[in-house]
Amino acid sequence: MKKHILLLAACLQMFSTVARADEGMWLLHMLQRINEAEMQQMGLNLTAEEIYSINNACLKDAVITLNGGSCTAEIISSQGLVLTNHHCAYGAIQGFSSVEDDILTNGFWAKSFDQEKPIPDFNVSFLVRIEDMTERVLEMVTSSMDESEREEAINAAIEAITAEVTEGNDYRVDVKSFYYGNEFYLFVYNDYDDIRLVGNPPESIGKFGGDTDNWMWPRHTGDFSMLRIYADKENNPAPYSEDNVPFTPKRHLKVSLDGVHNGDFSMIMGYPGSTDRFLSSWGITQALDLYNPSVVDVRDLKLRAMKEHMDADPAVRIQYAAKYAQTANYWKYYIGQSKGLRALDVHGQKEEIESQFAAWVGESAARQAEYGEALSLIESYYAGTDATVVGDVYTLEAGLLAGDLMLFAYRVGAMSGGLLDEESAEGTRERLQGLADEFFKDFDLATDRDIFEQVMAKYMADIPADQCPDFFATVDGKYKGDFGRYADKMYAKSPLVNADAFADFLANPSEKVIEKDLAIAAAMSLIASYRAHFFSPEQAKFDRGYRLFVKGLREMRPDAMWYPDANSTMRLSYGTIGDYDPADAVHYDCVTTAEGILQKKDNSDPEFVVHGALETLIRNQNYGRYADENGDLVLCFISNNDITGGNSGSPVMNGDGDLIGLAFDGNWEAMSGDIAFEPALQRTISVDIRYVMWIIDKMAGAQNLIDEIDFVQRGTDAGLGSKSWMKEEREVLEGGR
């Protein structure tokens, strides 16, 4: 009981004074004003200017986002070599794999530039600068506007800013809302599209532990892969070309061999996707009772259907590997989040915050006039959406994402007008053929059909008829409510399920075929239902209520270090390497070692297979310069840095800005952390950079990549940081390979 009370008090402290050092995802241009002094006291040896600068090369120039925010990565050489997580490149690795050449299972390492594999539809983005645009975006907004008028004025301002900033250049601009529409910041990006796969370890290393170990500590996963950025001869972005050359970055990270120790300073830079730290008690209730269980329920069904087909056919296993992993990741996430929210009484924490806010508002007539409706609007929003939130989940999870066919059919249906228009037909055909090539590459009809039948039947059974898509009435009437019978005809007749038939359709498109196609009919009905749910009339209450609530909280505690929720913009978090106690009589160390791989080894279980070469190297303790001071090979470590989805692949750096690891996961006991940071429990799990380099060096034998990297070992002798020392010392220390 005492521990619970102390934990609750620590969580509430965020709203009563300032955020803890280890809590917060901080905007880089604010570091000098808010965080620099504290970071330096904790062990940072850099200035804020060396982390973020508009005019000079800095750490931000070595950190990139992948595919618009799916993951983070870092540049580790002067030739555009990139490190990220294995699961961040998983789709690309799977796409290059086949039964005959299964690099997902066996790994891949390019020993020269010409062996690197161009990745289709893959891009990286560099942050150029950040600017505060709050005053300009809100210039025409008045207090008398309703939410739709306010949104219209804001969008017009953002459109004008975007046009102004992008005029005469190829930069991409994104103006983002912060603190629920109270502030707005401009982010300018430079995008590169020619990205190539350089190397990946076998899946038995990159995904060791599989779903069983996902979100768990202790961990022994080598979650990394390597890419390279290519540019034209002037170092500018360019589409893929054999004439392109390795990109020359403004800044790249050095790789530290000093290792990690309990209490060491650590910082993480990256692109966290989404947090809900201001979520209300009513939002917690809806998540626990309705939203989370629905996501878990539907995804559980899809996972079982996929796995049955994957286990039966090696080709399907490869085709669906990335889809399965993506589905499973957040299936387990929502299970853990619900458990954490209940165990840590986050609902009670939120009620206390709301009680404090209500009391503060009630102390002043002026506050009552400005903020008095905030909490009632929020409560009303959740009361008004409780009846439909499960239907919203099903529309997406059991509808458009029921299988690959539904999403592909929606795209074909949405573009059919262009296909039938003589002026735009050629361009539309090219775009649809590109989508088709991607779709058919990883499409298995039997698997897709099985998923479709099962999830649609569940959708009809679980959701009230007035919330279901219109085509359900057709299934109910014409097909006696049997989705199997609907699927019989859809998968037999639709040209969208066969590559050759679809090519014939593109060559001779017919309005009649489009109108009668059951896949297109189902998909367009699903998207109509999704849009109807998405544009709920209750949304205005949510937007206004949370905007006033967050503005009032910041006014109520003006001394607090208020950080905004994550929204796929570059952030920095800082803290320390550290162990923790997850439960009574349980203590977790802050590092794991290679011995743990052998302890978990079970070659009868696909999740815990240990590659033969890896086992031999570990048993021989052939660790060389990558061993710690005890002669062990550290695999993973934990720190109390604040991260979330999107941070996968983020560089974990020491006080000198040198790379010590790659962040890849959070821990099970703090799965509620996206909603409430839990200082006693929350940990970031990272793969140790020495393990990464050891795999590349000793197991892959990719000397070309090792030679490209700048290693440093500042803890013993500053002179040991040069690559020439590393090459000379290798022979003495390790006696050859």
Q: What are phi and psi of 182, to 5 degrees?
A: -90, -25
Residues 85, 201: Cα–Cα separation, whole Å: 11
CA dist list (Å): 120 to 135, 435, 437: 40, 12, 11
Write the CB contacts of 296 (distance below 8 Å, at least 6 apart in sequence).
331, 334, 335, 338
> In this prediction, what percent of the chain has a pLDDT beyond 90?
88
Residue 419 contacts residue 432 (beta carbons within 8 Å): yes
Give the number of other Cβ atoms within 10 Å of residue 529's Cβ.
24
* 225-231 and 183-192 beta bridge pairing: unpaired
Check residue 530 and give its pLDDT.
Answer: 83
Containing 176, the helix (H) or strand (E) segment is strand 172-178
User: What span, in angstroms and rounded, lies between the C-alpha atoms of 470 and 473?
Assistant: 6
Closest C-alpha among 371, 181, 372, 385 to residue 283: 385
pLDDT band at 20, cuts 50/70/90? low
Pairing relationship of beta strands 711-712 and 255-256 according to DSSP bridges: parallel
Say how far apart CA 438 and CA 428 lie, in whole Å. Answer: 16
Evaluate if residue 409 carries a pLDDT over 50: yes
* Selected catalytic residue, list 70, 494, 639, 648: 648
Query: Long-range contacts for 341-347 (Cβ within 8 Å, ≥24 apart)?
Result: 341/284, 341/287, 341/288, 341/672, 341/675, 342/288, 344/7, 344/11, 344/672, 344/676, 344/678, 344/681, 345/4, 345/8, 346/11, 346/284, 346/672, 346/675, 346/676, 347/281, 347/284, 347/285, 347/288
Helices 445-462 + 292-312 axis angle, to 10: 150
What interhelical angle do 346-362 and 2-16 show, nearest 10? 40
* Distance, CA of 696 to CA of 206 (rounded, Å): 12
Residues in CB range of 619: below 8 A, 6 or more apart: 598
* φ and ψ at residue 680, rounded to 5 degrees: -80, -20
CA atoms 410, 415, 419, 420: torsion sign: positive
**Beta strand 26-27 with 81-84: parallel, antiparallel or unpaired?**
unpaired
Q: Per-residue pLDDT averaged across 541-548, rounded?
A: 97
* Number of C-beta neighbours around residue 586 at 10 A: 9
* Cα–Cα dist 49/56, whole Å: 8
Number of other CB atoms surrounding residue 623 within 10 Å: 21
Closest CA to 595 of 615, 579, 578, 573: 615
Instruction: Name the CA radius of gyration of the chain, rounded.
Output: 26
Cβ 629 vs Cβ 614: under 8 Å: no
Catalytic, 193? Answer no
Q: Which helix (H) or strand (E) holds 126?
A: strand 124-132
Q: Does pLDDT of 190 surpass 80?
A: yes
Burial class of residue 236 (count of CB atoms within 10 Å of its CB; 0-12, 13-18, 19+): exposed
Q: Annotate 452-513 with three-state secondary structure.
A: HHHHHHHHHHHCCHHHCCCHHHHHHHHCCCCHHHHHHHHHHHCHHHCHHHHHHHHHCCCHHH
The answer to which of 33-42, 521-530, 709-718 has the lowest mean pLDDT is: 709-718
Contacts of 416 (CB under 8 A, 6+ apart): 509, 514, 520
655 DSSP 8-state letter:
T
Kindly report, residue by residue over 424-481, the tens digit of the pLDDT.
989 999 999 999 999 999 999 999 999 999 999 999 999 999 999 999 999 999 999 9
Whether 87 is catalytic is yes
Asked if pLDDT for residue 17 goes beyond 90, the answer is: no
Q: Mean pLDDT, the chain, as a whole number?
A: 92
Longest dimension (CA), the chain: 79
DSSP H or E run through 265: strand 265-270
Average pLDDT value for residue range 643-665: 98
Q: Which of 22, 194, 223, 264 is catalytic?
A: 223
Cα 45 to its chain centre, rounded Å, is 29
pLDDT of 15 strictly over 70: no
- Residue in 3, 193, 200, 2 with CA at minimum distance from that of residue 86: 200
Tens-digit pLDDT profile for residues 600-647: 999 999 999 999 999 999 999 989 999 999 999 999 999 999 999 999
Taking the model in full, what pTM does it have?
0.91
How many degrees, rounded to 5, is the angle at CA 554 between CA 552 and CA 556? 65
Q: Could you give the C-alpha distances from 337 to 20, 283, 345, 346, 526, in angstroms and in order?
A: 22, 13, 12, 11, 28
Ramachandran category for residue 180: left, alpha or beta (phi over 0 → left; psi -120 to 50 → alpha)? left
DSSP 61: G
Tokens linked to 681 = 């429990």
285, 351 Cβ separation under 8 angstroms: no
pLDDT above 50 for 724: no
What pLDDT is stored for residue 536 in this prediction? 75
- For residue 451, give the nearest of 380, 396, 399, 375 by alpha carbon: 399
Measured CA to CA, the distance from residue 84 to residue 197 in angstroms comes to: 11
pLDDT for the residue numbered 21? 58
- Range of lowest pLDDT (286-295, 312-321, 712-721): 712-721
pLDDT tens digits for range 551-590: 999 999 998 889 999 999 999 999 999 999 999 999 999 9
For position 8, what pLDDT does the model report? 37
As a whole-number percent, the residues of the chain with pLDDT over 70 amount to 94
In which band, very low, low, confident or very high, does the pLDDT at 717 lie, cut at 50, 70 and 90?
A: very low
Closest CA to 545 of 223, 283, 341, 724: 283
* Tens-digit pLDDT profile for residues 83-107: 999 999 999 999 999 999 999 999 9
Name the 3-class secondary structure at 142.
Answer: coil
Task: Tell me how far the alpha carbon of residue 34 is from its chain's centroid.
Answer: 26
Is residue 629 exposed (0-12), middle (13-18) or buried (19+ Cβ within 10 Å)? exposed
Closest to 702 in 3D by CA, of 220, 221, 107? 107
Where residue 9 falls among pLDDT bands split at 50, 70, 90? very low
Q: Looking at the predicted structure, is the pLDDT value of residue 721 above 60? A: no
- Catalytic residue list contains 686: no
Type of residue at 262 = N
Q: Do the Cβ atoms of 580 and 574 come closer than 8 Å?
A: no
For residue 635, the Cα-to-chain-centroid distance in whole angstroms is 22
Catalytic residue among 29, 86, 87, 220: 87
The bridge status of strand 591-593 relative to strand 634-639 is antiparallel
Single out the residue of 206, 236, 204, 228 nearest to residue 115, CA to CA.
228
Instruction: Return the domain boundaries, the chain.
Output: 125-191, 281-344+389-534
**Distance (Å, whole) CA 708 – CA 659:** 15
Residue 530 makes CB contacts below 8 A (sequence gap 6+) with 392, 395, 396, 399, 400
Task: Tell me the per-residue pLDDT of 486-540, one tens digit each, with 9 for 90 and over.
Answer: 999 999 999 999 999 999 999 999 999 999 999 999 999 999 988 877 677 789 9
Going 694 to 696 to 698 to 703, the CA torsion angle's sign is negative
Q: How many CB atoms lie within 10 A of CB 216?
A: 18
